[in-house]
Amino acid sequence: MPGRAYVFDTEPLVAFLYEEPGHADVAERLDEVEVGRSDGSIAEVTASEVFYLVARVEGVDGRPTADSFRIADRDVRTLARRGLTLRRTDWRFAGEVKAHGSLSLADSYAVALAAERDETLVVGADEDFDDLPVDVAIERIEA
């Protein structure tokens, strides 16, 4: 039975994919998930955000291309192969989280998923997670 359970926000996943600062901490958690020592999830909206960000980065002049969409798809599938489960989040609950603060819509979905599942939310250094309207354990991946 897994010991920890994580919901991953976009920033740490992008750090992992591009070996940005903090990527080793994310890799450690993903390793735990991959071997079954921990559970790992991402909201479907988070997967969409990772997808479009990778497509833009890998595109031409910040614009996606057919090739960059394939790379983005590969990267999201790589996260799933590492054991992350894409999960739906209650849209109304995510909307309530969003209504209370300055979180992006995608961040609101990640918070809602972590709250629904009573799992630890893995985020970057974003200060938007400092004052949440729901009780969620936060682990920050620092640069």
Its sign, for the CA torsion 51, 53, 49, 119, is positive
Domain 4-46+85-140 CATH (choose: 3.40.140.10, 3.50.50.60, 3.30.420.40, 3.40.50.1010): 3.40.50.1010
Q: pLDDT tens digits, residue range 59-106?
A: 999 999 999 999 999 999 999 999 999 999 999 999 999 999 889 999
Q: What is the pLDDT of residue 101?
A: 83
How far, in Å, CA of 101 to CA of 109, rounded?
Answer: 13
The partner residues of 39 in beta bridges, in order of sequence, read: 5
Domain boundaries, the chain: 4-46+85-140
Res. 1 pLDDT band, cuts 50 70 90: low
Q: Return the higher-pLDDT residue of 130 and 25.
A: 25
